[in-house]
């Protein structure tokens, strides 16, 4: 399939303004966040995760989510969304007029507890409720499953647990599920096998992959998932992200390189290569965590 | 094949001391070059390209090739070799007791002229002679074909031309042929198709791939070639290399990351991960071209 792939187009889901900027320790002015989103829109990104509605106590960088969403230039045909941790977040997102939200939970109990302060069982219940309320209001729900390819706390994770969660999320109504390699622990074998196994069981929801940097192996991982039939790939312009408090934590897979890989393979992403490189460079100017760019 | 690959082991061909250090503009003391080779030996590398016998007028960094070869600690079962541009180089290599040499030529006339100051036809004649003399003296010949995946001067290259050259090299007696992506222009489709096509036509010689950095895509390229059945991969510890006079020129694929990719995939390389990372870090301390590490 790498050769003779018969694939004309893949979809890139841009997470830079949220997952990329979120861990930045110095507050980035609202107008610069808006500028980044506008540049991503201009580059041809069709799906942009703009911000999150997590309480500012936990993620102070995203305290201006309303202002950012109000300030960006919205282009027809482009979906803008926000990460929400709970029903309260959904309400806020809907108040801002969003038609799509993103939920997150982990396969790992320890990571879920640390990240969301609840059990994975409680996270599932919350996402079920979010889906109910969202459906009533015509809002689409995309759902991340984190630590699918390994957990920094628990180590190797059970692909069966990821499958169980994915099937639940599909049942609740999430229209797209993205498998997260939260700390860059995937390899081409797991990046092939796990998405393929889960994709074969899903009957309605679409499956995406969300790799983080590991010295460039993230591109081999994306390629392996492509080989497994995945056609939706998450990336962050500039390759920003990671955790300022965890030494060695890696940024997100760099959108512009991912776009170039597919373009060189003859596969369209709808994104202009020059403009996405420029947007990535702009994103990097906003970062004080730039060292993570070279890992 | 990425999953269920049934591959227990791949072979890594280490080119760091030659291809990695060669373009360094500041002369690296002989004892440090020796130290790097010794560390690579200790890490478990089985095949190491130690130096070259190109005239010091052209590659001053390798002016101490005799001293380096005399000074390294040679371990049984490890093959040490040197790049030679011509018959004179072969003589010098044999005087140093080498049992294997490496030749190079390009698919691109312009690049061959620039790199070797002769036509590809003359290069073929030279390598034919080298093989004759080498065979008489029990010396094995490995042969690079450069710019297979694209030429910085001529652009896209004909895979048929690479095939013609590979078949000639095989006929002359080169026991292994390595396809070089000299400036990081390959993509997973070409990295799959070209090695596969050439490998299917070779009847005796083994085929290797030699990728250079391009923002991490080199690992996707290696993976694609693995998927195409290639089992020999070139790398340079520390990811050094490139050209000091060409802005944007990229280093070699970083051995330690390549080793880690295969190890994560459950494929043995015979190389100790911790030690090859340390050797890579040591190689980087020798470099003044370190900026190329982050590209």
Q: Measure A220 CA to nearest chain B CA, in Å.
A: 4
Burial class (CB in 10 A: 0-12, 13-18, 19+), B235: buried
Contact list in A for residue B261 (CB cut-off 8 A) is: 187-188, 217, 220
Among the residue ranges A286-295, B38-47, B162-171, B194-203, the one predicted with the least confidence is A286-295
Task: Compare CB distances from A223 to B5, B220, B254 and report the shortest one's residue.
Answer: B220
CA distance linking residue A100 with residue A113, whole number of Å? 25
Q: Measure B257 CA to nearest chain A CA, in Å.
A: 7
According to CATH, the topology of domain B11-294 is TIM Barrel (3.20.20)
A265 touches chain B (CB under 8 A): yes
- Best B198, B220, B237 member to test A by mutation, with max A CBs in 10 Å, is B220
Q: What is the pLDDT of residues B219-273, one digit of tens each?
A: 999 999 999 999 999 999 999 997 655 555 689 999 999 999 999 999 999 999 9
Contact (CB<8Å) B220/A261: yes
- Residues of B that are catalytic: 243
B138 touches chain A (CB under 8 A): no
pLDDT computed for residue B190 by the predictor: 98
| Pair type for strands A100-106 and A176-181 | unpaired
Sign of CA dihedral B131, B135, B138, B142: positive
Q: What is the pLDDT of residues B167-178, one digit of tens each?
A: 999 999 999 999
Q: What is the DSSP string of A122-172?
A: HHHHHHHHHHHHHHHTT-EEEEEEESTT-BTTTBS--HHHHHHHHHHHHHH
Cβ proximity of A74 and A9 under 8 Å: no
Contact list in B for residue A265 (CB cut-off 8 A) is: 187-189
Annotated domain spans of chain B: 11-294
- pLDDT above 70: residue B295: no
Q: In 10 A of CB A16, how many CB atoms?
A: 33
Percent of chain B whose predicted confidence (pLDDT) is above 70: 96
Contact (CB<8Å) A220/B261: yes
Contact (CB<8Å) A265/B193: no
pLDDT band at B293 (very low <50, low <70, confident <90, very high): very low
A215 touches chain B (CB under 8 A): yes
- Best B6, B156, B199, B223 member to test A by mutation, with max A CBs in 10 Å, is B223
ipTM above 0.85, yes or no: yes
């Amino acid at each position: 399939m790498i050769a003779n792939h018969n694939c004309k187009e893949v979809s890139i889901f841009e997470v830079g303004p949220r997952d990329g900027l979120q861990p930045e320790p110095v507050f980035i002015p609202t107008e610069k966040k808006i500028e980044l989103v506008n540049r991503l829109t201009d580059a041809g990104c069709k799906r942009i995760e703009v911000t999150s509605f997590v309480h500012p106590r936990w993620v102070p960088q995203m305290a201006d989510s309303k202002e950012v969403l109000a300030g960006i230039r919205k282009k027809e045909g482009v979906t803008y969304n926000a990460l929400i941790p709970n029903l309260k977040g959904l309400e806020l997102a809907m108040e801002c007029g969003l038609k799509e939200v993103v939920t997150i939970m982990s396969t790992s109990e320890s990571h879920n507890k640390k990240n969301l302060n609840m059990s994975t069982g409680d996270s599932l219940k919350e996402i079920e409720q979010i889906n109910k309320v969202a459906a009533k209001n015509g809002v689409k729900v995309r759902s991340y499953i984190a630590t699918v390819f390994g957990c920094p706390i628990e180590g190797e994770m059970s692909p069966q647990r990821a499958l169980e969660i994915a099937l639940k999320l599909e049942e609740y109504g999430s229209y797209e599920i993205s498998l997260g390699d939260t700390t860059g622990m995937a390899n081409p074998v797991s990046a092939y096998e796990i998405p393929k196994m889960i994709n074969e069981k899903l009957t309605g929801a679409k499956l995406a992959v969300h790799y983080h940097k590991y010295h460039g192996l993230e591109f081999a991982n994306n390629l392996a998932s492509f080989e497994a039939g995945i056609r939706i790939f998450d990336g962050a312009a500039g390759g920003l992200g990671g955790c300022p408090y965890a030494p060695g934590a890696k940024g997100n897979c760099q959108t512009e390189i991912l776009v170039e890989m597919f373009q060189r393979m003859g596969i369209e992403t709808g994104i202009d290569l020059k403009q996405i490189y420029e947007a990535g460079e702009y994103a990097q100017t906003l970062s004080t965590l730039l060292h993570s760019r070279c890992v």
